[in-house]
Structure 1
């Protein structure tokens, strides 16, 4: 199967997209990177794209499926697959693949997953446990929603925890809806759905279920325990695999995630399904019809032996393969801890070499250097870097990762 041509439609900036590109290159495939703005992937402040892994970069309006189709048709080498791994371009990828007769998920399932209110309705109708919710098109509609407080208010189709906030009462929720509705486009220049989701706050641990789906068959590979920062925002500060929740909760989470994927009709690709553990069991928070970011795919590979980005590329190139989806093993636990950013201009970065020598540490990534101007936002982009560590258990791996992260010092001055 070597020598095939894989077109990657944009990427996320948090690991799995770049891992998929590297996997395609390792397998001997030709790699084309389709983007509307290559400079985004080369800028400081996040992980950067290694252009040495790409045979060709093509610029087009990737937010428009028709433009993607035209760009792919114009390539000198016919494409065998269009792989979208980032949140923002799953719909474009699915629709372009369908138009070109290439493998990919049903676009209707992807659209249902990208609209959080539609996800809620379909899942609730299918009996999947979800928080109480209401879709609102104006701030005034918040006061008519029959929901308990505090509640969570979020955009319908954004990502990276952008705009997600805990609100104490109806007035605060209405104010946040008003703020969200002023933002008509997301960070990739796409027009957002002009409405918001107001939902019951589930006060419990957060986890995610990592899965591969082919022909509607769901293969759950891992349950990830997620660590969050201080409320009222929901910024992710670290993760560990396996979650090892005990009391049958890992299996219950896997069952809820699989049922949710079936309910929205997501039938092909990788999935990252987020849940909260209420007192009476897991409840669906959202479905992401792509691999997890934040290097969770790396943690899954370290913990189970399954390389999700590599498996995803292989699925796209052999969608009708009769071989079973991979079964996870258990090798060790792995964790990631992020270095939280503060506002200012970076003047020095020290301690990374020392951090890399600490027990269990496999990877220390620093995204900034002297001169970088940092303007943190209340979302998952407010990071200086990350540390990945392994240990016999998830909590121990997370402790090691955090200790190494604490050993890295980023000094800043006021901008």
Structure 2
């Protein structure tokens, strides 16, 4: 039976678009609420396809009351209100609750969005977390008692915005000052006026991709995350499944599911990030939405489970966990953006011929203006590949990117830049 599904904005890294496409493929009527639809057609990221949508409605998507009023005034009643991007998870949960629609507890979503609240609740529940201190002034960064280097980050940003490894008390204080001066995020929402100073866990990073329904989590996959070198933590690629022995994988899954119970996230898809310390996994953050960076697509290639399809399905019909199968490993690698006006893009045809490559997507064309990478969203392209193992798939994706060349007015930019 056709349902009416309303999407509240989207991220720019894949999963929001996948959810809209999944709703459309299932035969549902799809409405998109946004402040500015032009954001989704700008260069530098994947583009929104109007074919996924029946209706685009402009409203103040940062205001739950505005969203509620807009949904009530649509031509047909809504059966579900979904947000897939980080910025609008709280608003969607609050508006959905006010409309009497299925969705996660707003309290659980708020706890997940505030990294200091996440840390506090998880520590109280016995979930292993880095040592941390919430600070509201630069001076407090001198009195945390944490060893350096340490990580300083905003409480409620996303995409690795503002996350930095600081070597001294002075660096920590200076970065706290920078975070506090940045009062609004990229979607115009006021940020929590505080910062998190936390212990640096010097180990590999993985994420756990989880479906949650009626408070019960189902682990679908573990993702290995490739990161840039400190002091920043930009994500340069991912592969599924993560390269872990069964015992380590089970420990990661347990930490992730325990963390969701601790914060009270009870419905939807969760992307839980962990660092692997020498004594086991530590929780880094809970994202109460599907992973971006096309990780959802990698999971589908590797396990047969489409997380975005499941997210839509659990909001409009009785839901049971899907069957999880073992398929080829899958990986994605990104070409970080270089500065200047794009003069030429070459090599895409060669990149698509690399063994195992299933997708090469360019985010820019000649004439577009580009900026250097400041977070996870500033990129020129990606390549996706499959292989016998995650590492082999990732090597194929990087090989494909090495065929690309994006020339800008300031510097030529090659896919070889993504190599660690």
What is the distance in 2 between the residues matched to 1:343 and 1:231? 21
Aligned pair 1:175/2:171, yes or no? no
Contact kept, 8 Å, 2:336 with 2:373, in 1: the verdict is no
SS state of the match for residue 233, structure 1? Answer: coil
State the 1:281 CA deviation.
Answer: 0.3
Residue of structure 2 in register with 1:263 after alignment: 262
Shift of 1:376: 1.9
Inter-partner Cα distance in structure 1 for 2:195 and 2:157 = 10
Taking structure 1 as reference, are residues 253 and 21 closer, same or farther at Cα in structure 2, changes over 3 Å only?
A: same
1:158 alignment counterpart: 157
Deviation for aligned residue 1:341: 1.4
Q: 8 Å contact 2:337–2:373 — kept in the other structure?
A: no
Alignment of 1:118-157 (within 5 A): 118-157=117-156
Distance across 2 between alignment mates of 1:385 and 1:74: 39
| Alignment check: 8 A CA contact 2:13 2:377 kept | no
* Alpha-carbon displacement from aligned partner over 1:285-322 (angstroms, at most 9, x marks no partner): 0000000000000000000000000000000112xx2x
Asked if structure 2 preserves the Cα contact closer than 8 Å seen for 1:233 and 1:378, the reply is no
Q: Quick check: 1:30–1:55 contact (8 Å CA) kept in 2?
A: yes
SS of the residue 1:140 aligns to: helix
| Residue 6 of structure 2 is aligned to residue 7 of structure 1 | yes
Secondary structure in structure 1 of the residue aligned to 2:104: coil
Q: Give the Å deviation of 1:324.
A: 2.7
Corresponding residue number in structure 1 for 2:22: 23
Residue of structure 2 in register with 1:396 after alignment:
392
Q: CA deviation at 1:357?
A: 1.2
- CA separation in 2, counterparts of 1:338 and 1:296? 12
Counterpart of 2:414? none
List runs of 5+ in structure 2 lacking aligned partners: 412-420
Instruction: Give the drift of 1:377.
Output: 3.7
User: Which stretches of structure 1, 4 residues or more, deviate above 6 A after TM superposition?
Assistant: none
1:191 paired residue number: 190
CA distance in 1, matches of 2:152, 2:375: 14
- Give 1:334's match in structure 2, choosing from 306, 312, 330: 330
Alignment match, 2:40: 41
SS at 1:263 equivalent: helix
2:385 corresponds to 1:386? no
Name the residue aligned to 2:362. Answer: 366
**TM-score (structure 1 length as normaliser):** 0.98
Q: Note the C-alpha offset of 1:247.
A: 5.3
For the residues of structure 1 that align with 2:288 and 2:233, how far apart are their CA atoms?
A: 20
TM-score, structure 2 length as denominator? 0.97
Aligned length: 411
Q: 2:202 aligns to what SS in structure 1?
A: coil
Q: Per-residue displacement from partner, 1:320-357 (whole Å, max 9, x unpaired)?
A: x2x53124211110000001111111100010111111
Q: Determine helix, strand or coil for the equivalent of 1:154.
A: strand
SS at match of 1:397: helix
SS at match of 2:222: strand
The alignment partner of 2:342 has SS state of: strand
Gaps of 5+ in 1: none
Offset from partner CA, 1:11-42 (integer Å, 9 cap, x none): 00000000000000000000000001111001
- 2:347 counterpart of 1:351: yes
1:308 aligned partner: 307
C-alpha separation between the residues in 1 aligned to 2:372 and 2:294?
Answer: 20
**Does the 8 Å CA contact 2:342/2:364 hold for their aligned counterparts?**
yes
**Hey, what's the Cα distance between the residues in 1 that align with 2:361 and 2:162?**
26
Tell me the secondary structure at the aligned position of residue 378 of structure 1: coil
Within-5 A mapping of 1:184-333: 184-246=183-245, 248-318=247-317, 321=318, 323-333=319-329
**Cα shift readout 1:343-385 (whole Å, capped 9, x = no counterpart):** 1111000101111111000000000011111112421022101
Q: Does 1:64 align with 2:63?
A: yes
Residues in 1 aligned to 2:170 and 2:312: alpha-carbon distance in whole angstroms: 47
C-alpha contact (below 8 Å) 1:134/1:199 kept by paired residues = yes
* Map of 1:413 onto structure 2: 409
Work out whether residues 219 and 326 of structure 1, in 8 Å CA contact, stay in contact via their aligned partners in 2: no
In the alignment, is the contact (CA less than 8 A) between 1:221 and 1:327 conserved in 2? Answer: no
Q: Secondary structure at 2:333's aligned position in 1? A: strand
Q: CA deviation at 1:398?
A: 0.2
* 8 Å contact from structure 1 (residues 343, 375) kept in 2: yes
CA contact (8 A) 2:45 2:378 kept: no
Match of 2:51 in 1: 52
